[in-house]
Structure 1
């Protein structure tokens, strides 16, 4: 099973707002019950609980690629997409000048859908930190899964060149 997916900006803002609201609420309750002498305790507990909520929301949001199907999850819903709905994959620039690995889907409610699996900043140097290493692993895992499912992947030449030169990821053969 491969974990992927990109949380849209609007949903990420809602998750952050929910965490902040919960932190303020819990901090206010602790200060209200125990008095002003516990303001720092209220802030600390509120921040910890707010961050825990945000981790839970972001952790639940994503896409899981398995041998049988693709599972798209949000904190409030789960949907399954069969592999036979996937037309192709593409690794290209998105509207924010980031590299986006997406699947093109057919069928369903809309005539043409897109499922973004990964969005990373352009690769301009060898792996320098844990983030780069994790994203390289994720690209390899997704490519392996797509290869096993016989999904063709189109990749821009400049992206293929940068991945090969900096991250030592060979371009797709099919």
Structure 2
């Protein structure tokens, strides 16, 4: 079964994850100092930081969107929502409010009358692949486009984005399932 992992953690939720990690670090450090004295503050900090980082990995790892052949699953650390593919009206690859490239799905129905599900948000591509981050994002764009093309969901791609993806990342230009604006 084909499965594509995507999703963008909103800034506010990411900030709460950071606050939770700091609180865990402080609690473990404080507990260590309380139990064993001030001489164990660095041991407490080390254990607290390790636990805080583990918590961040757990929270960010659980938060995301998983696209499967059957459905779309929007996950958060405290729950999951399954969306049917028939709720997807179209996709678009455009600029977002922070001048980043955003690949999003437009949804209808559900609890809100119309909604958007952001699958990917990346800085504009201005050069060929230079590192593992670029390679992973290129793979994600390609996997998501392939999944949407297989589901026959039209995707609008801004011409400058399509041109940069073709020129720098060697991704095929928009075809029958994609449309350029």
Question: So what's the TM-score if we normalise by structure 1?
Answer: 0.99
- Which of the numbers 114, 117, 132 marks the counterpart of 1:115? 117
- What stretches of structure 1 of length at least 5 have no aligned partner? none
Shift of 1:77: 1.4
Distance 2:153 2:68 in 1: 14
Moved over 2 A (4+): none
Matches within 5 A, 1:3-152: 3-152=5-154
Distance 2:112 2:29 in 1: 45
Partner SS for 1:30:
helix
Distance 1:110 1:42 in 2: 46
Distance 2:66 2:53 in 1: 24
Shift of 1:106: 0.7
Match of 1:160? 162
- Supply the RMSD in Å over aligned alpha carbons: 0.6
Distance 1:84 1:21 in 2: 42
Shift of 1:43: 0.4
Partner SS for 2:167:
helix
Distance 1:112 1:87 in 2: 10
Cα deviation, 1:133-169, whole Å, max 9, x if unaligned, reads 0000000110111111111110000000000000000
Shift of 1:130: 0.6
Shift of 1:37: 1.4
Distance 2:53 2:112 in 1: 36
Distance 1:78 1:110 in 2: 16
Distance 1:157 1:166 in 2: 14
Question: So what's the TM-score if we normalise by structure 2?
Answer: 0.95
Match of 1:2? 4
Distance 1:169 1:111 in 2: 34
Partner SS for 1:16:
helix
